[in-house]
Every structure is written in structure tokens, then in C-alpha cells.
Amino acid sequence: MSWQDEYRKKMVTPEEAVQVIKSGDRIAFAYGLEPNDLSLALLARSGELKNIKLYVPAPGRDFPWYEPGWEDTFEVSVGYILPVARKMIEERRADYMVSGLLWAEDPKVREPVDVLLIYLSTPDEHGYCSFGASLWDKKKAIQEARIVLAEVSPDLIRTRGENYIHISEIDYFVEHTPTGNVPGATDILGRQTSGASAVEKAIAEHVGGIVQDGDTFEVGVGGAAEWILQTGVLDTKNDLGVHSENLPRGMASLVMKGVITGRHKTINPGKVVSTACGGGTKAEMDFINSNPVFELYPSSYVLEPRVIGAHDNMVAINSALAIDLTGQIAAESLGSTMVSGTGGQLAFAMGATLSKGGRNITVLRSTAKNGSLSRIVPQLDAGTIVSVPRNLSDVVVTEYGVARLKGKTQRQRAMELISIAHPDFRVELTKEANRLFSP
């Protein structure tokens, strides 16, 4: 049987595809955008299904199961807290999957999946589908799921690397109904973009002074970090390289401008390596599509600290919600309220620490809530998750400057951080530092 015949044989309607789902099943989505038509068909069966354990790694589409009243049908857990699921998490109607660096690669700790729902490109001339703008752990998820349902669309981009799967590994296909969404209308976290503020521009200027010609770097999504690529502070650099979990908006433009060449990369020279590349403008996504410079690999490779650390002059740039005077970095929660997820921040902090010439940069606004709260605090609030331990904190940047923590005592660290705190809070922070770390 040719692959074309096999593909046609596996093609069904969304309603037919979800008939394989039974009450009590564990249903999982893959990372990236949830397949719309399969999801709607699953929702249509809500009256006849009960106790479905629904795992959504990165909630993007606003489906009804995030609203109250669906608990008898769907028991929801998420892997990253994005806007559509935030209220559900706050109200304790859903649970959060605590993820480690490579724990997902160990089948002993992965809960078995009955049915996996995934979004793929239509097959190429050889019968291979692309995972589009993100790969993550999708190949392994397909291999381990009992049944795989794929919604296919010709609109997904193709990249080099390992961003493909053969149609023989999928159980059923459904054709995607176009929704009219334009690629690049939002950033990688699904937020509408409005431009960098004066604070974010100031932070970017400081970071621009730390990144050097020939560095390999990573930029995390969200917060102040993502704007660094769009403010022009890196435009005068030469021969930068990229090994990054994501490629936020502005990264592909730096390749177009010749700023990013990867010429001095220790690993994969000349290549822009990531496990996801969504969130760019349409022009950027068109540039990435089928471009041999861009290679997507599984998160088990991209987020492996030893791989990251094998790059000389590796610079990790990530955002934080708060940091205490010893250098503990909080990027996931404030108190017991979860607002985000770990992502690759810890992996890149470890990798940059292992790297010869590496630097781990944490960026954050000095204040929150219209200047009423300092993000640099004496101690983190009770229940706050420490995303990066103080042992790995290195360079911290706010709009007021750069604090260098590596090789410093607790008191020295506190004084460094106070020097870049908002002036309105420096006196009180100094009092607290004297109380906590008496000279």
C-alpha cells in the first residue's frame, strides 16, 4: 500500500475520530496550539462522557472546559499557565503539572495516555508531516500514546532538524477547517503586542552592553526578556549564535539582518537551534518556513544543560517576577498563586553556568502594580516557588542598572540588588539587609 492510500484510509471526520474516546480515558494534547476541530468534536460528546482526565500542556484556545460546570466531564491539568487557564488555576478547578528538566523522557514517570490529540501539517511528497512552529516532546508523545488523532492543515510551517513524523505513526487524520487566524498576530504566549515601554527599553540597553560579538544566546518568552530582540540593542552585534528554547518575535529578523550567523557556535555552527519558533511576525514566520538555517529539535536535546553548557560564551536571558536579596529567583508564582511555569529557565541557568565564558542574565522591572510594589524584596513571600536557586543567579538587570551576584557574599549581593531597585524602595531594602545580614 502506498503512503497516499494509507493516508486516505486513515482520513475521517472529527466526529468519527473522537468516537475512540471513552469515559475515564486520559486525553492529552501535544505542546503547541490545540487542534480546533477535534476539540469541538470532543466537546460535543460531553453529555455522554464522564471523568475524562484532560492534560493540556500549553493552553492556547479558549475552550469551555476552562469554565465552571464542566468538572463532571473534564478533570483538567495544565503544563504551563497561560491566560485562558489562569482563572481556573486560581480557583483550584484545575491542577498544574510540575515539570523537571528531563523527567518527561522517563517512561516510568509519564502517566499513560489513551488518546493524544495533535496538530500537524499535511504530508509532503514523501508522506511526512511537519509539527509546524514547535516540536517539544511530540514525537515521544506519539510513540507512547495508545491512539493518536491528528488534525492536518497546509498552513503549518516546515523546518529542518527533527521536526517531522511519518503518516504511518498516526492512527486517524482529520482535515482542519481554517479559522482565519493570521500567523504572527500575537506573541509566543498568545498576547497581543503593543511595543516596548521606556522601562523595557532601558532594560534592553543594559543587556545590550553585556552581550558580546560571537556569543551564543537564548531569550525566554514573556516579561522584559522578550522585548530585548525588538529594541535594536543587538543590531550592532556581530556573528551571534542561537541555541534557545523558543525564538520570540525579533529573533528571525536578526538573522535577516546578518546579526545572527552562528559562525562561532561550538555546536551546530551556522544553525539557529530551538524547539519552538512561534510568535514571530508573518514575515518572520515566512522567512523561517523551509529555511535550512532554522532547525527544531526535541526539548530533551535543546533543554539538556550539558548540551547548553557545551556552547562557549553561552548567554541565557530570562525574566523574573521577583528576586530576594540573596538572589533567589521567582518566575512561576507569587506566594501560592501560580501565574506561569518553569519552562527552560532553570535548564538554561544551569547550562550558562557550565559554559566557558557563560553568563546567566535575569531581567525584571524594578516594580509592579504601577510602582506600588518592589520586585526586589528582602525575602520571597511564603509559598513562592523558587524557579532558579541563588547558587545559579549571576547577572540581574532592571531599568536602573546591572547587579553582578556571582562570587559575592549575602550582604554584597543585597547591596548589588538594592543599587538597581527603584529609588523609592532602597531605604527600606537597606534596613532589611542590615537586619538580615549584619556586617
Active site members:
245
Torsion of CA 142, 145, 147, 153, to 10 degrees: -30
> Cβ distance 231 to 203 under 8 Å?
no
Distance CA 296, CA 388 (A): 26
Q: What angle do CA 347, 348, 354 make, to 5 degrees?
A: 95
What gap in Å lies between CA 167 and CA 190, rounded to an integer?
29
- What is the C-alpha radius of gyration for the chain, rounded to an integer number of angstroms? 22
E-strand stretches of 220-354 = 241-244, 272-274, 294-296, 314-319, 322-324, 329-330, 333-334, 337-338
Q: How far is 89 from 111, CA to CA, in rounded Å?
A: 21
Angle at 64 between CA 60 and CA 70, to 5 degrees: 130
**What end-to-end distance do the CA atoms of the chain give, in Å?**
78
Nearest Cα to 229, choosing from 253, 211, 197, 212?
Answer: 253
Full DSSP string of 373-403: EESEESSPPTT---SB-GGG--EEEETTEEE
Beta bridge partners, 244, equal 274
Work out the burial of residue 140: count CB atoms within 10 Å of its CB; fewer than 13 is exposed, 13-18 middle, 19 or more buried.
middle
Q: What is the dihedral of CA 340, 178, 138, 81, to 10 degrees?
A: 10
CA-based nearest residue to 234, from 265, 263, 261, 270: 261
